[in-house]
């Protein structure tokens, strides 16, 4: 004997089933989004570290081969190659274990950019300057990491591709965190600089990193004035409130893609 269920109960069961299916779909989508975001992050970090180091090593090697009769120049090139390949090895290990580099000090952006300029300097004739305005302030580590990655990418591009003789890096803490990197080189395609065209992962990665920390990234370039990179991060994001930094970033983990 078949007992018919009340129509109201049937509707409730159907609604519950649809709700459950939507919940399962939402969970699967969230997992997929997390996986895509993680793969994108690893690809971006790989480009910003190991791939750039290997590319720089090749440029040094090519330059040494063009002047192979100059013993001193060849020796300096080999020393730099040894240092960069050792660095690439360490960066590769970090990438394989999905480790993120971080700063131990409260704020060492200026020192980090000084080191980045020294490491990629193409020759003795290359001049660089790092300046700080407004007095350095504590910056949240997540923001600091992204600012450093964007700045170091701009520095590497200037050293390796711009044929510049001068490079300046400015950090301004007076109204939020403002970072500027400028060179006097040959410039680049204005459309690429303004949009970070797909296919040029380094430039695209800079815009993606800026978006993650709600920053505004502006890149302008022309043959007369070289390339100028400016990143503006609002104070509410850049500077953690005393005692509330960790709590605030735990409440909004997806805000920073973590």
Dump pLDDT digits (tens) for 185-221: 988 776 666 555 544 557 888 998 899 889 999 999 8
- 235 found inside a domain: yes
In a domain, 70, yes or no: no
| Exposure string for 187-199, b = 16+ CB within 10 A, e = fewer | bbeeeebeebeee
Domain membership of residue 27 (yes or no) is no
Scan for tokens 């049937």, then name that residue: 10
How many domains does the chain fold into? 1
Report the phi/psi class of residue 4: left, alpha or beta, with left for phi > 0 and alpha for psi in -120 to 50: beta
Please determine, for residue 97, whether its predicted confidence score (pLDDT) is greater than 70: no
The secondary structure of residue 169, as a DSSP letter, is: E
CATH number, position 165: 3.30.565.10
Question: Where does the pLDDT of residue 182 fall: very low under 50, low under 70, confident under 90, or very high at 90 and above?
Answer: very high
96: left (phi over 0), alpha (psi -120 to 50) or beta: alpha
In a domain, 10, yes or no: no
Which DSSP letter does residue 181 get?
A: E
Lowest mean pLDDT among 16-25, 127-136, 204-213, 241-250: 241-250
* Residue 252 falls inside a structural domain: no
Going along the chain, which residue ranges are E strands? 127-133, 166-172, 177-183, 216-222, 226-233
pLDDT tens digits along 35-88: 566 666 666 666 566 666 777 777 777 777 877 778 887 788 788 777 777 767
Report yes or no on 80 lying in a domain. no
- Tokens read off for 224: 């007369």
Cβ distance 88 to 54 under 8 Å? yes
Give the model's confidence band at 180: pLDDT under 50 very low, under 70 low, under 90 confident, else very high.
very high
Q: What is the pLDDT of residue 50?
A: 65
Q: Is residue 168 part of a domain?
A: yes
pLDDT at 116 over 70: yes
Residue 235: the pLDDT is 92
Q: What pLDDT sits at residue 68?
A: 76
Range of the domain at 181: 106-242
Whether the per-residue pLDDT at 4 is higher than 90: the answer is no
166 neighbors 219 (Cβ within 8 angstroms): no
pLDDT at 254 over 50: no
Longest CA–CA separation in the chain, Å: 100
CB-based contacts of 222, cutoff 8 Å, min separation 6: 187, 190
Pick from 159, 78, 82, 169: nearest CA to 125 = 159
User: In this predicted model, which residue has the larger pLDDT, 252 or 172?
Assistant: 172
Question: Which value, in Å, is the radius of gyration of the alpha carbons in the chain?
Answer: 24
Give the pLDDT score at 250: 43
Contact, 181 vs 169, CB < 8 A?
yes
Is residue 181 domain-resident? Answer: yes
Beta strands in 57-145 (DSSP E): 127-133
Please give the mean pLDDT across all residues of the chain. Answer: 75
């Amino acid at each position: 004997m078949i007992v018919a269920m009340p129509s109201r109960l049937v509707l409730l069961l159907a609604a519950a089933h649809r709700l459950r299916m939507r919940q399962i779909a939402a969970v699967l989508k969230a997992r997929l989004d997390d996986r895509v975001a993680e793969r994108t992050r690893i690809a971006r970090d790989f480009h910003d570290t190991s791939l750039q180091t290997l590319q720089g090593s090749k440029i040094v090697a090519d330059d040494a081969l063009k002047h192979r009769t100059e013993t001193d120049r060849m020796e300096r090139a080999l020393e730099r190659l040894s240092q960069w390949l050792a660095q690439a090895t360490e960066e590769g290990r970090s990438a394989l274990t999905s480790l993120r580099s971080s700063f131990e000090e409260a704020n060492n952006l200026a020192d980090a950019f000084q080191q980045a300029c020294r490491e990629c300097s193409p020759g003795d004739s290359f001049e660089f300057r790092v300046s700080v305005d407004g007095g350095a302030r504590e910056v949240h580590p997540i923001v600091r990491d992204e600012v450093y990655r964007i700045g170091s990418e701009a520095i590497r591009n200037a050293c390796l591709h711009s044929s510049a003789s001068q490079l300046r890096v400015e950090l301004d803490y007076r109204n939020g965190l403002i970072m500027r990197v400028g060179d006097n080189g040959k410039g680049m395609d204005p459309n690429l600089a303004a949009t970070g065209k797909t296919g040029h992962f380094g430039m695209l990665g800079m815009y993606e990193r800026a978006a993650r920390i709600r920053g505004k990234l502006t890149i302008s370039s022309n043959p007369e004035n070289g390339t100028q990179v400016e990143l503006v991060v609002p104070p509410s994001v850049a500077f953690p409130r005393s005692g509330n930094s960790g709590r605030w970033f735990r409440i909004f983990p997806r805000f920073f893609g973590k």
